[in-house]
Amino acid sequence: MEYENKHVLAPMVRVGTLPFRLLAAQFGADITYGEEIIDHKIVKCERRINESLGTTDFVEKGTGAVVFRTCYEERHRVVFQMGTSNAVRALTAAQLVCKDVAAIDINMGCPKSFSISGGMGAALLAKPELIHDILTTLKRNLDTSVTCKIRLLKSSQDTVELARRIEKTGVSALAVHGRRVADRPRDPAKWSEIADVVAALSIPVIANGDVFEYEDFHRIKSATGASSVMVARGALWNASIFCSSCKLPWEDVKREYIRKSILWDNDIKRTKHTLKEMIMHYSSLELSEGKSVNKSDTLGDLAKLYGEEKYFQLVAKNRS
């Protein structure tokens, strides 16, 4: 995996599934992160080849639920992002998926209570020894690239110090979200503090925060000196943000996402969640479209709602 001059799809819970990753790649994303998956969850899975879909599925034993789905098409750009608080468990989980992905990333920035309460995500920022243990354990035992994603600490100096410790573990790259744990999405990202990290490290730094248009890729790269740029909400709202010359109306992008969700048999709850996030940015869930999405119980219902019934039937016919 190369990290110079790349446009990167950020990890987003319930959004970064296979259809959305392929949608972003279609428009030009060079690297695509999956949604964060907790190590406890993946170690309960078994790897299965899904002949019907042409995918590799990691399926939870007992329930049959698909925890992570990927395909050969994204093999050299997909990043498996993991939530963990234990080096041995992280390695067990990583060894299960590492041959099917381009890199393993450790989430060290998620501020959600479910993550912090388990000692994962942003909770790791206060535990540099544990960070070192997790990353060095993965580096010693995997051939796959290992990276991590952090948020800013209380001061720029603290962030730089942690970043230097992370660099010493031998990771291939470091992604930095330009907000602190207490910051809200509406708070402006602190690009200058990302620049401080870039100046202090020799490994590639991926800058993340306040990228909403294609031009912002160049703005943040210029302001921070980062090797690559990562985008989350800007891609969620319109995945064609990755294309300099083919920005599409969100309605067209939304329809393409639905078709990909049908093609790859995406989980209906995750599909609906992503659609509702798109709708809320441009409209309201209280209007007819939002209400209809909420009432949809299957991908077939969504196909009917968005005029993709023929496509849905064609995909179903090809699978049978």
Between helix 268-282 and helix 288-295 the angle, nearest 10°, is: 170
Q: Are 70 and 100 in contact (CB under 8 A)?
A: yes
110 is catalytic: yes
Please tell me which residue in 71, 110, 148, 246 is annotated as part of the active site.
110
Longest dimension (CA), the chain: 59
Q: Which amino acid is at 28?
A: G
Q: Are 209 and 220 in contact (CB under 8 A)?
A: yes
Neighbours of 315 (CB within 10 A): 18
Antiparallel, parallel or unpaired: β 228-231 and 7-9: parallel
Cα dihedral 278, 284, 287, 292 sign: positive
Q: Which residues contact 193 (CB under 8 A, 6 or more apart)?
A: 152, 156, 159, 178
Could you give the C-alpha distances from 119 to 30, 73, 94, in angstroms and in order? 31, 34, 18
Q: Which residues contact 23 (CB under 8 A, 6 or more apart)?
A: 239, 253, 256, 257, 260
Q: Which residues are designated catalytic?
A: 110
